[in-house]
Structure 1
């Protein structure tokens, strides 16, 4: 029972007690007062009647007629004239009749008991008889009942007004109480949210204690994040340049090559500076590092300016004079390479500065890390031998994008969206006992009568601004599939940065989720860690809206930017998927063991499950249990389903 209902019940009980008490007191008091007044009236009437009768002839008929006339015109219950010896000369009475609106119970409780008025009738100097006058009390009872009704109505009105005012005040009191309840519920879901302290002392003490717990949890997370970052930077980053080191980049590359979608345009850009040793040595250590950091800043700034040309970027220092850049799902590689080349040359414009050479290759399905890097080195050595001043791109990449090709892709993708020619490739996420957690769904679309994975077309869809619409069509397909097959399985879908920022598409998504409330909990929506870190407010709004509708929220490719996420303990993440880069050579990589163990411990503190991506072997169960990993995204048990099947 709600507090508001309890308040109303209490007010009703108080009003009822007040009515009963007031009616009882009012009735008893009024009854006594009326009895006094009516008795005085009886005495006055008896005296007046006796005085009049004393002046009349003592003829029995005359006296009876006079008494009868007085009885008829007045409100009397009875008038009796009798001689001293008891002989009744005249007697007139009538039965008291209650008003129709006066209840019998009220009359029985509060009818006044009035003594009759008695006076002596004289004859000369002697006594003729005694007259008894009794007033009719039915009118008094009716008047008392009307007064009581007014009292009851007045008290009821006061009670109603008091209830309304009390409910209004209670609503004011309940607002901070609702916040306290929501905060407590969020704590039970491992969301350590802070709320403003209310003015009510008792609630203020509770909220203050819970806010302290929330701040404490934030402090623990910050400290653990700092510790994990220090551990990761110590083993995976180059101290001088603050970039990923060679070993970590190779792990990233291995993870990318283990990635299930090999149709994407995933490229490595290799930058090498040659010569200029004397000029650099003369500049001094501090200036050398300053110029190195400026060089890297120019690279990062260039990548940021062209972030709409690719999905993810990883930059690493391979050697003292070499930098590697991995871009996934890249579009218009020639433009990116030329922009990088120009940005780097702007930092190498002083006399005696080294020369810059660049090579670019696309990762192939059959590649491993060694073969990909070997192709890069070969191209770069060739560019250096030929003293090329422009980027040296692998043959398949060294082509400009034609308007005809752009129009072709625009037509193909729009037709796919209009015809809902979308599909999903589903990879099971399994827990430690090999039981299904949910399916990781990757989008596919029919192009030229072939079902293509997202990597094949994502760069074009992003370039043409059609990626949000394609992803929305895929989500609609998942809703249709769940409804049609009535499956109980859950499905997770990765949303792009463009999808997260497209308000019109998000509005359509929220509408679809609302229209499919019964199956909405079967969908998990994922966002890349880098996207969530770059757009924290949009991500938080995205999470809160979908969580309120029962959907799950996950983070993909987690590891590098988790510490940069704002208020992650308040977002309500259901799970995170560790980047495949951390899974490469997991069997014999103690540095990654320490990081993953600490990361899992931190995530579990906030009720977040941790799954591993990029695992291709089945013999890691004991290791993952030890590290705290809750499950893996399977690459062996691939399941494809067609809606038309």
Structure 2
């Protein structure tokens, strides 16, 4: 029994005991008073009657007539006259009187009407003794009415007492509940500050809890800041603050191998006259100019979709992003960089090359194509922008109209399926199957990267996400299905109220299967639309499905937002996993991320494992499980 119920029980029980005790004591007191009143009445009536009869020289017949007349008035239950020798001369007794009082009440509180006695005499001669008893019905009625009125008054008082008790309990309950929520929040790594109670004892408790929360929050923030610093040190160029070459190559590999990602662009910038600038201005001033270039690229990175700016070497910089047209961006970069170096030398040359890529292109081929465009621009001898030759990618892009027809036809004909990839623990246990949507075009199954970019532009992602969720539920509903399934959702989809309602309806239709469904959204989409994700979680909470973030770690500085998202897991971005066996900085970063994530009571998985060395290294860093091509090769237990 909870403390509140115990307090309520104590208040009600004590009030009830007080009411019953007061009622019983009052009733007994009233009964005693009525008994005494009846005794006195009987005694007085007998004395008055005896005195009246003694003043007459009364005959036995006349005495009987007087007694009969007196008895017939109905005020007495019995009248009895005996002679001096105890012989009964007259004895009149009334029948049992009908009383409007419950019999149980009369049995519980009997009223004893003590007979009143007096001597009848004639001068000094004793004629007899008269004994009379008054009716007790009036006393019972008076006592019963008194009890009812007192019970009503005490009940009203009890209700007032309970109301006051409720007010007191509410005053105590609210701060206690706040402290309980605060303690639960601490276990879930949510740091809640509660207002201090006006109750002195509870004020001390809430003050102590607030201090504890602030301390834990400070420790958590310090740990997050330390890891963010470590991530920056491991993956950034010391001079410009941009990503270094190692981190950039890892992110580039992840970008071109990410099946559900849209197409993107790569820009490479070469500062051809940097050596002359360094010789003329000195190292410090040259570094200041490079920092300005870095800040310029960071500004572009911030405003581009999945943007990543990097310094590849002393003279080369790169900018990787998705969806945007690279040509105007490259031209703007050329103009802005020229403005930075115009004060150093008018002969400074900026050579820029750019190219587009889709899923499946080899990173080395992409770099070679764009680098060739940079070399072509550099050969001119003046600042210039050049586009790389078209990349040799299978299935050249179609028009938006053609793609729209193909996607809608595939949906209408149900030419859809899911491919599955295992997420495996270190002991070989499968956590879940990660799914990827496939559509059939012209008899060939196409991966999501081929059609998702155009689907997003056409507003079809919600429809595709719902199809993927339904396919996963159908698979989970099969009697031989024993492994959970994860489905990737678009950040664009979860912002739609209609999508959330439809998805909840689909999940609610198969509640048993929904408990084994894992839904994950890209980190950047969640942090960019944090309120939409909170509502998404609230809408799907009753279905008991798992929720998580994929591509986690790119915006680690926003980890404080994870406190109240109530996630179940995160998947660390493959850019940090790539070549992890030789990158000690990223090893320390991932190990720290695992520590913080586990403190948040979340599971932590690794994405995009491609080599045995990466898998061996990750197994030592505290991750719960991993996925990627190498995991699929070592554990080929799932149908692709």
Report the TM-score when normalising by structure 1: 0.86
**Bigger mean CA deviation after superposition, 270-279 or 130-139:** 270-279
Q: Go from structure 1 to structure 2 and tell me whether the alpha carbon gap of 1:15 and 1:222 turns closer, same or farther (over 3 Å shift).
A: closer
How many matched pairs?
628
| Distance change >3 Å, CA 616–CA 358, structure 1 → 2 | closer
**Contact 2:500–2:539 (Cα < 8 Å) also in 1:** no
SS of the equivalent of 1:571 reads coil
The answer on 1:393 being equivalent to 2:388 is yes
For 1:593, the equivalent position in structure 2 comes to 587
What does residue 182 of structure 2 align with? 183
Q: Which residue of 1 aligns with 2:366?
A: 372
Match of 1:236?
A: 235
> Which aligned pairs between 1:187-336 and structure 2 lie closer than 5 A?
187-256=186-255, 259=257, 261=259, 265-275=263-273, 291-302=289-300, 304-305=302-303, 307=305, 312-327=306-321, 330-331=322-323, 335-336=325-326
For residues 205 and 343 of structure 1, the distance between their equivalents in structure 2, rounded to whole angstroms, comes to 59
Deviation of residue 9 (structure 1)? Answer: 3.4
Residue 17 of structure 2: SS of its match in structure 1? helix
Cα distance between partner residues in 2 of 1:203 and 1:337: 65
Between 1:209-218 and 1:388-397, the stretch displaced more is 388-397
Q: Which residue of 1 aligns with 2:499?
A: 505
In the alignment, the residues of structure 2 paired with residue 519 and residue 571 of structure 1 have an alpha-carbon distance, to the nearest angstrom, of 23
* Post-superposition offset of 1:297: 4.3
Q: For 1:496-528, what per-residue CA distance to the aligned partner results, in whole angstroms no more than 9, with x for missing partners?
A: 332243344334434544555444332222232
> Could you say which residue in structure 1 is the equivalent of 2:22?
22
Q: Report whether the alignment pairs 1:564 with 2:576.
A: no
Residue 569 of structure 1, CA deviation: 3.6
Change (3 A) 1:282 1:374: same
In the TM superposition, what whole-angstrom CA distance separates every residue of 1:360-401 from its partner, at most 9, and x where no partner exists? 15267362x444322322232123335684431332599xx9
**SS of equivalent to 1:465:** coil
Query: 1:609 and 2:599 equivalent?
Result: no
Is residue 533–residue 562 contact of structure 1 (8 Å, CA) maintained in 2?
Answer: no
Aligned counterpart, 1:522: 516
Shift of 1:77: 2.0
CA shift at 1:628, angstroms?
1.4
Residues 392 and 622 of structure 1: is their aligned pair in 2 closer, same or farther, counting only changes over 3 Å? closer
Supply the distance in 1 between the matched residues of 2:563 and 2:589 (Cα, whole angstroms): 19
Partner of residue 354, structure 2: 359
Alpha-carbon RMSD across the aligned residues, in angstroms, is 3.5
C-alpha separation between the residues in 2 aligned to 1:491 and 1:169?
A: 51
Distance 1:38 1:127 in 2: 27
After superposition, the Cα gap between the structure-2 partners of 1:406 and 1:625, relative to the gap in structure 1 and judged at 3 Å, is closer
Q: Distance in 1 between matches of 2:200 and 2:541?
A: 32
Correspondence for 1:113: 112
- Do the aligned residues in 2 keep the contact of 1:360 with 1:392 (CA within 8 Å)? yes
Distance 2:32 2:269 in 1: 111
3-state SS of paired residue (1:565): helix
- Paired with 1:197 and 1:483, the residues of 2 have a C-alpha distance of 50
> Corresponding residue for 2:77?
77
Residue 513 and residue 177 in structure 1: after superposition, are their counterparts in 2 closer, same or farther (change >3 A)?
A: farther
Contact (CA 8 Å) 1:79, 1:132: kept in 2 or not? yes
Q: CA offset at residue 237 of structure 1? A: 1.0
In the alignment, the residues of structure 2 paired with residue 346 and residue 189 of structure 1 have an alpha-carbon distance, to the nearest angstrom, of: 47
CA contact (8 A) 1:430 1:634 kept: no
Cα-to-partner distance string for 1:578-608 (whole Å, 9 max, x where unaligned)? 2212222233333332222233233233333
For 1:560, what is the secondary structure of its paired residue? coil
- Seen in structure 2, the aligned counterparts of structure 1 residues 154 and 413 have a Cα distance that, compared at 3 Å, is farther
Query: Residue deviations 1:535-569, cap 9 Å, x none?
Result: 44444454455456533232222233213233434
SS of 1:572 mapped into structure 2: coil
Name 1:91's counterpart in structure 2.
Answer: 91
**Do the aligned partners of 2:352 and 2:373 also contact (CA within 8 Å) in 1?**
no
Compared CA separation, residues 375 and 72, structure 1 to 2 (3 A): same
CA drift of 1:633 comes to 0.8
Provide closer, same or farther for how the CA distance between residues 21 and 264 of structure 1 changes in structure 2, counting only shifts above 3 A: closer
Q: 1:197 to 1:521 in 2, by over 3 A?
A: farther
Q: How big is the shift at 1:459?
A: 1.4
Whether 1:489 and 2:483 are equivalent positions in the alignment is: yes
Instruction: For residues 158-217 of structure 1, give each alpha carbon's deviation from its aligned partner in whole angstroms, at most 9, with x where no partner exists.
Output: 334533553455345333333333333344445454444444444444444444343333
Q: Helix, strand or coil: the match of 2:515?
A: helix
Whether the aligned pair in 2 keeps the contact of 1:345 and 1:356 (CA below 8 Å) is no
Deviation at 1:71, TM superposition (A): 0.9
Measured after TM superposition, the shift of residue 223 of structure 1 is: 1.8
Matched with 1:46 is 46
Q: Displacement of 1:433 after TM fit?
A: 0.5
**Structure 2 unaligned blocks of 5 or more:** none
User: Is the alpha carbon distance of 1:75 and 1:343 closer, same or farther for their aligned partners in structure 2, counting shifts above 3 Å?
Assistant: farther
Moved more, 541-550 or 456-465: 541-550
Secondary structure at 2:404 match in 1: helix
Equivalent residues in 2 for 1:430-579, closer than 5 Å: 430-485=424-479, 487-514=481-508, 516-543=510-537, 546-547=540-541, 549-579=543-573
Equivalent residue in structure 1 for 2:399, among 401, 405, 418: 405
8 Å Cα contact 1:603-1:610 kept in structure 2: yes
3-state SS of paired residue (1:174): helix
Q: Distance in 2 between matches of 1:512 and 1:197?
A: 44
Residue 627 of structure 1 aligns to a residue whose secondary structure is: coil
Greater Cα offset, 623-632 or 381-390: 381-390
Instruction: State whether residues 330 and 385 of structure 2, in contact with CA within 8 Å, keep that contact through their aligned partners in structure 1.
Output: no
CA distance in 2, matches of 1:117, 1:469: 101
Q: CA deviation at 1:266?
A: 4.3
